[in-house]
Amino acid sequence: MTGSAYLNCFYGILYRELYRFVQQRSRFLSALVRPLLWLVVFAAGFRAALGVSIIPPYETYISYEVYITPGLIGIILLFNGMQGSLSMVVDREMGSMRVLLTSPFPRSYLLICKLFSIALISSIQAYVFLFIASWFDINAPLAGYFYLLPACLIAGLMLAAVGLFISSLVRQLENFAGIMNFVIFPMFFLSSALYPLWKMREANDWLFQVCQVNPFTYAVELIRFSLYAKWNGSAFMVVAITTILFVLAAVAGYNPRMGLLGRKATGE
Amino acid sequence: MDAHPLQVDKLSFHYGSVKALGNVSFHIPAAGFVGLLGPNGAGKTTIFGLLTRLMSPQSGEIRYSAHLLDQEPARALQSLGVVFQQTSLDLDLSVAQNLHYHAALQGMSRKRARIRIQQELGRFDMQNRVDDKVRSLNQGHRRRVEIARALLHKPQILLLDEATAGLDFETRQMINQHIRQLCDDDGVSVLWATHLIEDIRTSDQVILLNQGKVIAQGNCEQLLRENHVTDLRQLMQKQFRAVA
């Protein structure tokens, strides 16, 4: 297989993901409406209740809307990453996943192409959200918009990899509600997306510790710092290591030798 | 051209404690049409899962030309085209989009894919359906698209799992004829798994599978003669009774 063959393969997977995303307008709208509701309704209500002190990367007092914007970008990446990866479950049920898995390219490469496509789509949504957020006076330094792209891509990759790993364990998409309750919501609420961690520590030290080990916290912090054109090395390291671990776990999950997929074949 | 583009040797597979295949061995001759026959549950789909590397055998080996599937999956899978029993097309994409997706997964460029799509759909007289959504096609046309897709990268071996199941008689005949033509004209080697004995001719090579074991294989005409029966149905009944 030549380099151009690898590129053709990536392009094919990316095109399919993009096309499906564009076709599913309701998915696009709900991906935007969800964080916008948080921004416009939830944040307005909680602005008075939740005071935010000056914490890095912010250099002045900020409004609550400004604080939760990176967290809302995180939720876009989280939902889209999970949804995109869990579409593998639908593909498996519909039979179209076999076309992907019988490709002569290494399975790890195929799965990484899929993850990167999902991360790219998530990032596009994040920028659309930021554009709409600017109508509500939520703005970041110009350089931040450029720094944000790699941060969104790697955070998107991490969350899609988590979803892909889960998809290798889930038999039917009917379990998506369970994944919402046991994976997506805990990841979101037990993070720094909606409130700074020092607030959580004041309220409950045990919950603070949970937030500290939640990789989504670091994805949000990476996004927060990037949006203000600043570097957060520790957040980057955690996100990068978590991405690698979950990509490896997902590849193992789809490896016929490891048996996860083989066991599912009994039902097909 | 290899004399045996596909060789299967002592293949075994268990689903937990349930034995699905036990010591299955066979080969497919170059440009040959081989029928894999067996009742539902005989193990045909398991064989396909193993041949396409969707699953990994617990013992035995699969060799495509000189390449062991387990050790050189990329080279092995490059020579393979597959039509699965269950439709594997994306219903929300058009015929062209489905075929381009497959072509990309084989590493083909858009330009080459476009040419090959026209050629393969042309064989089925379906060039005018290229922009139709797959959802709008009937079962027969979907099957044709799947066969066209399996042939896009010009594989040496074509595996078909119950490719004509659920289709009307005319479409079955047409697809069967088309596949045989591929063996004669393009030198493609075909493994055709079916429970429909009407799909098999007496001049074909056959493999009879029951309860995960090969119970007979060889030239169909010769097997009929040796077993003193006149048709394939009788042969299968006799062989299955002997095993029971």
Q: Does B169 lie in the same domain as B223?
A: yes
How many residue pairs bridge chain A and chain B with CB atoms within 8 Å of each other? 107
Q: Does B147 lie in the same domain as B131?
A: yes
How far is B57 from chain A, CA to nearest CA, in Å?
8
Containing domain of residue B176, as a range? Answer: 1-79+155-244
How far is A123 from chain B, CA to nearest CA, in Å?
23
Range from A62-66, B232-236, B239-243 carrying the lowest mean pLDDT: B239-243
Sort out which chain A residues have CB atoms less than 8 A from B93's CB and list them: 16, 19-20
Please tell me the predicted confidence (pLDDT) of residue A34: 85
Q: Residues B55-59: contacts with CB within 8 Å, 24+ apart?
A: B55/A256, B55/A261, B55/A262, B55/A265, B55/B13, B56/A256, B56/A257, B56/A259, B56/A262, B57/B11, B57/B12, B57/B13, B57/B21, B58/B12, B58/B13, B58/B14, B59/B10, B59/B11, B59/B12
Question: Does any CB of chain B come closer than 8 Å to the CB of residue A103?
Answer: yes
Better pLDDT: B111 or B65:
B111
Question: Does any CB of chain A come closer than 8 Å to the CB of residue B103?
Answer: yes
Please tell me the predicted confidence (pLDDT) of residue A184: 87
Q: Does B120 lie in the same domain as B2?
A: no
Q: Does B217 lie in the same domain as B122?
A: no
Contact A167, A57 (CB under 8 A): no
Asked whether the beta carbons of residue A5 and residue B107 sit closer than 8 angstroms, the reply is yes
Please tell me the predicted confidence (pLDDT) of residue A4: 92
Question: Does any CB of chain B come closer than 8 Å to the CB of residue A61?
Answer: no
Closest-CA residue of chain A to B106: A103
Query: In this structure, what token pair is assigned to residue A152?
Result: 């969104």
Asked whether the beta carbons of residue A103 and residue B56 sit closer than 8 angstroms, the reply is no
Sort out which chain A residues have CB atoms less than 8 A from B100's CB and list them: 12, 15
Please tell me the predicted confidence (pLDDT) of residue B28: 92
Asked whether the beta carbons of residue A105 and residue B54 sit closer than 8 angstroms, the reply is no
Q: Does B92 lie in the same domain as B56?
A: no
Which one of B107, B134, B154 terminates a domain? B154
pLDDT tens, residue by residue, A125-147 = 999 999 999 998 888 899 999 99
Using CB atoms, which residue from A8, A19, A96 is nearest to B88? A96
Looking at residue B226, which CATH number applies to its domain? 3.40.50.300
* A27, A102, A258, best to mutate vs chain B, most B CBs in 10 Å: A102
Q: Does B164 lie in the same domain as B74?
A: yes
Dihedral sign for Cα atoms in the order A41, A43, A46, A48? negative
Look at chain B and report how many structural domains it folds into: 2
pLDDT tens, residue by residue, B152-210 = 999 999 999 988 888 888 899 999 999 999 898 999 999 999 888 888 888 889 999 98
Closest-CA residue of chain B to A17: B101
Please tell me the predicted confidence (pLDDT) of residue A265: 46
All residue ranges of chain A with pLDDT < 70 are 47-54, 173-176, 257-268
Nearest of A51, A44, A49, A37 to residue A65 by alpha carbon: A44
- Letter for the amino acid at B127? Q
pLDDT at B4 over 90: no
